[in-house]
Amino acid sequence: MKVVVDGFGGDNAPLSVLQGSALAVKEYGVSIIMTGDESVLRKTAQEHNISVEGITFHHTEDVIEVCDDPTSIVKEHAQSSMAVAMKLLADGEADAFVSAGSTGAVVVGASLIVKRLKGIKRASIATVIPSQQGCFLLADAGANLECRPEMLTQFAMMGSIYMNRIIGVENPRIGLVNVGEEETKGRELQLETFSMLKESGMNFVGNVEARDIPLGKADVVVADGFTGNVILKLTEGLAKFLMGNIKDIFMGSLGGKMAAALVLKDMKKFKQKMDYKEYGGAPLLGSAKPVIKAHGSSDGYAYKNAIRQACDFVKQDVNGEIAKVLREQKAKA
Amino acid sequence: MKVVVDGFGGDNAPLSVLQGSALAVKEYGVSIIMTGDESVLRKTAQEHNISVEGITFHHTEDVIEVCDDPTSIVKEHAQSSMAVAMKLLADGEADAFVSAGSTGAVVVGASLIVKRLKGIKRASIATVIPSQQGCFLLADAGANLECRPEMLTQFAMMGSIYMNRIIGVENPRIGLVNVGEEETKGRELQLETFSMLKESGMNFVGNVEARDIPLGKADVVVADGFTGNVILKLTEGLAKFLMGNIKDIFMGSLGGKMAAALVLKDMKKFKQKMDYKEYGGAPLLGSAKPVIKAHGSSDGYAYKNAIRQACDFVKQDVNGEIAKVLREQKAKA
């Protein structure tokens, strides 16, 4: 298994990329191709005593930044560490791709360099989010602000395969984000998607109101990318706000500090349950080859998990299963 | 000051309506007209030892339920406690209206029975939500699933007046919910609304990503009703999920219970800060006369606060100020 990683994507690059890659080589026996300025990468590895065994460097000088226009990945930044890594994936030099860089650039680059699976209308950034029941997959989390019902239905299908094969959920429950549970609720997009999902033969459990999402009412939560992005970021912000206040209560008095000591172990366990790092990164579902977007603030551990996830994506043949379903759908039509 | 209340709206009606009304009479010296089955209302008051001084009953027999089609408020349920209360408001028999009943029916009833302020394109359900900085107003929270930029701009204007006059925020900061902070982000609706708000002369602070909403980046958070509904309900659901887990940690062990005792006071204070009951109900901004939608699960205390809010809406002449701004805008155009 060969994974190509963007050595200069992410807030903590290249250090966390090197750390994560070294861990992945050691733990999973994977081979890594790392793009980026080779001398900087080697120097960073040396300074931090990180083994580069199993890592091949592919020298590039340019980097695409979060503030750059995503479409520049095929123009001004066609020689960036991310673009070159994607080209290596597209050319068959690697089995999967991981980057913690600009989400927009990953989406555009995947679409234009890696291309989509045949029959997939749009690739979807899908994110695993912790919930009361473990976790759920949110698709789309922001790649497609405007969606048609066919797109949402494909997100549901791909998300279902992902949750089954990668997270191990038997017959994942698919829910459509809406303002009410009734079939008659929502805008045109929700009304049409509801009937398509109902007819699809998938395990569609109906509309899901946003208040039921964190409670785990569905395993695959389907929404247009605008709504999905709001759900993803509000979840982050609200968790930060609430947990920050709880922390302030614990740290704000002597009694609080004593209380914190008493529940430390359980709080840590809960915090770990809520941690995105456990789930690796966000797969770009529908991409012709496995593309994983790691969290921008990934540390070495999170990066390692993103590489593991990329390997699982290949081993579990998620794309093969998606292609199979598309063929079956075509045959039926 | 005379407030007409829907005696049979809400999960805890008529008890909480009677309790809240009695408290409001006592504390604010307001007169209440209460619609609904008079014998049931009088019997409930007697059984619970609630004073009916200052409360006039207006007998109605029908009730519009949450599961009823909202438009039935002007057809099958035109004689319901909610519809009749709205008619009393429209006819000038009362200065303001409060109901904890079906949100859909309140929105439709307000639009068709109470009507809108002249020049207002759509009335908006606006909800006050606690945040790190105190609270913010979310408009629209679900009344208008499809919006045009002019509508969002009016929601911003009305919301700003509300936050200033009712919550006491000086020069409220208006933020537009979007997937990124940059002016170029979002769908057509966000792009056009951004330029309208920028030109409006209001205190527009730009796009707000959902993660910054709970942190209090804006005092008036503007969104279409679909997105706003997702924000409102996800906030509810996530707070329930996170606080429920914290509670489980406290209650799950002896150490946890001891810890809970140590931080009980601070946790209660935080819980109160997060409690919607403190802010009363959701105003229907743009309605020709003050319409307040109390939370469906309001108890007597929350209901009392909703009545106080209705009185404030009248006293602070929110509608007069909205009308004034509309006149100024018309004069400028």
Band (pLDDT 50/70/90 cuts) for residue A312 is very high
Q: Report how far residue A209's alpha carbon sits from residue A303's, in angstroms, rounded to the nearest whole number.
A: 32
DSSP string, A117-167: PTT-S--EEEEEEEETTEEEEEE-SSS-SS--HHHHHHHHHHHHHHIIIII
> Could you tell me if B237 lies within 8 Å of chain A, comparing CB atoms?
yes
Q: Report how far residue B40's alpha carbon sits from residue B53's, in angstroms, rounded to the nearest whole number.
A: 17
Quick one: fold of A1-120+286-317? Isopropylmalate Dehydrogenase (3.40.718)
The partner residues of A287 in beta bridges, in order of sequence, read: A116
> Could you tell me if B226 lies within 8 Å of chain A, comparing CB atoms?
yes
> Could you tell me if B215 lies within 8 Å of chain A, comparing CB atoms?
yes
Residue A277 has pLDDT above 80, yes or no: no
Give A125-278's CATH code, choosing from 3.30.200.20, 3.40.50.10860, 3.40.718.10, 3.30.70.1890: 3.40.718.10
Q: What is the pLDDT of residue B271?
A: 84
Residue A59 to residues A38, A208, A304, Cα–Cα distance (Å)? 5, 47, 21
Question: CA of B96 to nearest chain A CA: how many angstroms apart?
Answer: 28
What is the ipTM score, two decimals?
0.93
Name the residue of chain B whose CA is nearest to A268's CA. Answer: B249
Q: What is the pLDDT of residue A260?
A: 87
Q: What is the pLDDT of residue B272?
A: 83
Q: Which residues have C-beta within 8 Å of that of residue B305, sequence separation ≥ 6?
A: B20, B277, B278, B279, B280, B281
Q: Report how far residue A183's alpha carbon sits from residue A299's, in angstroms, rounded to the nearest whole number.
A: 43
DSSP string, B221-275: EE--HHHHHHHHHHHHHHHHHHHHHHHHHHHSSHHHHHHHHHHHHHHHHHHHHT-
Question: CA of A259 to nearest chain B CA: how many angstroms apart?
Answer: 4
The partner residues of B56 in beta bridges, in order of sequence, read: B33
Lowest mean pLDDT of A146-150, A275-279, B239-243, name the range: A275-279
- In this prediction, residues A157-169 reach a mean pLDDT of 97
Band (pLDDT 50/70/90 cuts) for residue A71 is very high
Q: Report how far residue B220's alpha carbon sits from residue B162's, in angstroms, rounded to the nearest whole number.
A: 9
> Could you tell me if A251 lies within 8 Å of chain B, comparing CB atoms?
no
Output the average pLDDT for chain A.
95
Q: What is the pLDDT of residue B277?
A: 72
User: How do the pLDDT tens digits run along chain B, 333 residues long?
Assistant: 999 999 999 999 999 999 999 999 999 999 999 999 999 999 999 999 999 999 999 999 999 998 899 999 999 999 999 999 999 999 999 999 999 999 999 999 999 999 999 999 999 999 999 999 899 999 999 999 999 999 999 999 999 999 999 999 999 999 999 999 999 999 999 999 999 999 999 999 999 999 999 999 999 999 999 999 999 999 999 998 988 888 898 888 888 898 888 888 888 888 888 877 777 789 999 999 999 999 998 999 999 999 999 999 999 999 999 999 999 999 988
Band (pLDDT 50/70/90 cuts) for residue A79 is very high
Q: Taking CB atoms and an 8 Å cut-off, how many pairs form between chains A and B?
A: 153
Q: What is the pLDDT of residue B284?
A: 97
Question: CA of B210 to nearest chain A CA: how many angstroms apart?
Answer: 5
Question: CA of B184 to nearest chain A CA: how many angstroms apart?
Answer: 11
Higher local confidence (pLDDT), A233 or A255: A233
Q: Nearest-CA neighbor of B142 among B228, B236, B70, B231?
A: B228
> Could you tell me if B251 lies within 8 Å of chain A, comparing CB atoms?
no
Q: What is the pLDDT of residue A272?
A: 83
Q: Start-end ranges of CATH 3.40.718.10 in chain A?
A: 1-120+286-317, 125-278
Q: Start-end ranges of CATH 3.40.718.10 in chain B?
A: 1-120+286-319+326-333, 124-278
CA B42 to chain centre: 28
- In this prediction, residues A108-119 reach a mean pLDDT of 96
- In this prediction, residues A43-54 reach a mean pLDDT of 98
Q: Name the CA dihedral angle for B115, B117, B120, B122, rounded to a multiple of 10 degrees.
A: -30
Q: Report how far residue B178's alpha carbon sits from residue A258's, in angstroms, rounded to the nearest whole number.
A: 41
Band (pLDDT 50/70/90 cuts) for residue A279 is confident
Rounded to the nearest 5 degrees, what angle is found at the Cα of A303, between the Cα atoms of A302 and A306? 90
> Could you tell me if B131 lies within 8 Å of chain A, comparing CB atoms?
yes
Residue with tokens 């990318």: A225
Whether residues A237 and B212 touch (CB distance < 8 A) is answered with: yes
> Could you tell me if A253 lies within 8 Å of chain B, comparing CB atoms?
yes
Count Cα atoms within 13 angstroms, Cβ side, for A162. 33
Q: How many CB atoms lie within 10 A of CB A47?
A: 9
Q: What is the pLDDT of residue A7?
A: 98
Name the residue of chain B whose CA is nearest to A227's CA. Answer: B227
Residue with tokens 């995947």: A110
The shortest CB-CB distance from B233 to any of A132, A210, A225 is to A210
- In this prediction, residues A225-252 reach a mean pLDDT of 92
Q: B1-120+286-319+326-333: what CATH class? A: alpha beta
Q: Report how far residue A290's alpha carbon sits from residue A280's, in angstroms, rounded to the nearest whole number.
A: 14
Which tokens sit at B299? 């108890």
Q: Which residues have C-beta within 8 Å of that of residue A328, sequence separation ≥ 6?
A: none
| Packed helices B225-251 and A225-251: angle between N→C axes, nearest 10 degrees | 30
Q: What is the pLDDT of residue B50?
A: 98
Q: Which helix (H) or strand (E) holds A178?
A: none
Q: How many CB atoms lie within 10 A of CB B47?
A: 9
Quick one: fold of B124-278? Isopropylmalate Dehydrogenase (3.40.718)
